[in-house]
């Protein structure tokens, strides 16, 4: 079940400000207040708590998610396997076609940067980044006709920073 907590706010490019939800373990810049969605998903390895914050801007949609993975998954699978599985799952969930993927580091944490195309007649691409820190997976996405050259998508991705979680509570 996904719980919607608000509606998309108008995104003014001149009003970018830091966003860092309590317990989220990250900081990112957004040009408005994001919508928050939360879901518990059950997997063979245990429950995964997913929290997503998203915001529509002219010509793109920006989102950042946290996925708290079960200890069994992080014990049984390597960081590379978890990141590849997360990337492949995102693309498969959208019925998309992978275009590019590369291994990267984000503040020393293993990560995957990738792009994919949505199915259909309209050209809709997505830029993604998965980052693994312990048992928490971060997922950033930027969607639109050309997210690779969209200034809001670039600023959003460039502003992502890992932070020590300020508390153990679920992210707000």
Residues in CB range of 149: below 8 A, 6 or more apart: none
Give the confidence band of 9 by pLDDT, cuts at 50, 70, 90: very low
- Please provide the distance, in angstroms rounded to a whole number, between the alpha carbons at the two ends of the chain: 17
Give the confidence band of 87 by pLDDT, cuts at 50, 70, 90: very high
Give the confidence band of 12 by pLDDT, cuts at 50, 70, 90: low
**CA nearest 30: which of 152, 125, 166, 165?**
152
Task: Report the distance separating Cα 165 and Cα 172, nearest Å.
Answer: 12
Q: Is the pLDDT of residue 14 over 90?
A: no
The confidence score (pLDDT) of residue 129 equals 96
pTM: 0.85
**CA nearest 136: which of 81, 66, 80?**
66
125-145 pLDDT per residue, tens: 899 999 999 999 999 999 988
Q: Is the pLDDT of residue 31 over 70?
A: yes
Give the confidence band of 102 by pLDDT, cuts at 50, 70, 90: very high
Which domains, and CATH codes, for the chain?
25-162 (3.40.1000.10)
Q: Which of 81-85, 91-95, 120-124, 134-138 is the least confident region? A: 120-124
Tell me the pLDDT of the chain averaged across its residues: 86
The confidence score (pLDDT) of residue 13 equals 54
- Given a contact cutoff of 8 angstroms between Cβ atoms, the answer to whether 112 and 84 are in contact is yes
């Amino acid at each position: 079940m996904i719980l919607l907590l608000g509606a998309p706010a108008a995104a003014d490019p001149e009003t970018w400000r830091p966003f860092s939800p309590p317990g989220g373990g990250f900081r990112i810049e957004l040009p408005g207040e994001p919508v928050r969605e939360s879901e518990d998903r059950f997997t063979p390895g245990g429950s995964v708590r997913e929290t997503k914050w998203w915001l529509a801007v002219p010509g793109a949609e920006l989102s950042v998610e946290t996925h708290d993975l079960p200890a069994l998954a992080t014990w049984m699978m390597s960081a590379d396997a978890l990141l590849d599985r997360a990337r492949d799952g995102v693309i498969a969930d959208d019925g998309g076609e992978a275009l590019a993927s590369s291994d990267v580091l984000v503040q020393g944490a293993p990560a995957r940067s990738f792009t994919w195309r949505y199915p259909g007649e309209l050209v809709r691409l997505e830029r993604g980044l998965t980052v693994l820190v312990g048992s928490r997976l971060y997922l950033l996405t930027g969607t639109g006709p050309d997210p690779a050259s969209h200034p809001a998508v670039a600023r959003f991705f460039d502003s992502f920073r890992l932070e020590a979680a300020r508390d153990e509570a679920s992210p707000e």
